[in-house]
Amino acid sequence: MGRSLRARVGVKALILRDGRVLLLRRSPRSPQYPSYWDLPGGGVEEGETLEQALRREVKEETRLRVRVGKMVHAAILTWPLDDGTLVPSLGITFACAIERKAVPHLSPEEHSEFAWVDREHLSGFRMSRLCTEAVRAGFLCRGRQSPSRSE
């Protein structure tokens, strides 16, 4: 009998400020999508709510505290594990807010840089299909589902 794989659930934060979205560049050493631009976020751990996981992941990756708003995008996909195995996954992106003057501080093992990008310049940033779809959906929802600023 083959090994059993459980579906993975991932959450991403679409943080918009002044008409620009926060993107993080994955480390060139990342086993998944090296040097691609991505939204902050990651996997949901057992026992966590989606919101708890998103707050934890964003804080680990950027040291930012987010207020989680409405879901703006969801997709079923396959995600590559470190060994190359593809597992069924559900990716969910939420609109999030941060304090106005908050600045990301990255963990160099995970991300090499960050950028605030407006809609017109997105094509210059190489992103996965899921990230591209989520960012586009977030810009479409902008203004209708924005959470209030975090404390």
Write down the domain spans for the chain.
8-141
CATH class in words for 8-141: alpha beta
Stated pTM of the model: 0.86
Per-residue pLDDT tens, the chain, 151 aa: give them: 455 557 789 999 999 999 999 999 999 998 888 999 999 999 999 999 999 999 999 999 999 999 999 999 999 988 777 787 888 889 999 999 998 889 999 988 899 999 999 999 999 999 999 899 999 999 988 744 444 443 3
Contact 37, 131 (CB under 8 A): yes
Q: How far is CA 22 from CA 12, 46, 80, 110, 141, in A?
A: 11, 27, 24, 15, 16
Cα–Cα distance for residue pair 61/118, rounded to 1 Å: 21
How far apart, in Å, are the Cα atoms of 31 and each of 17, 79, 83?
30, 11, 9
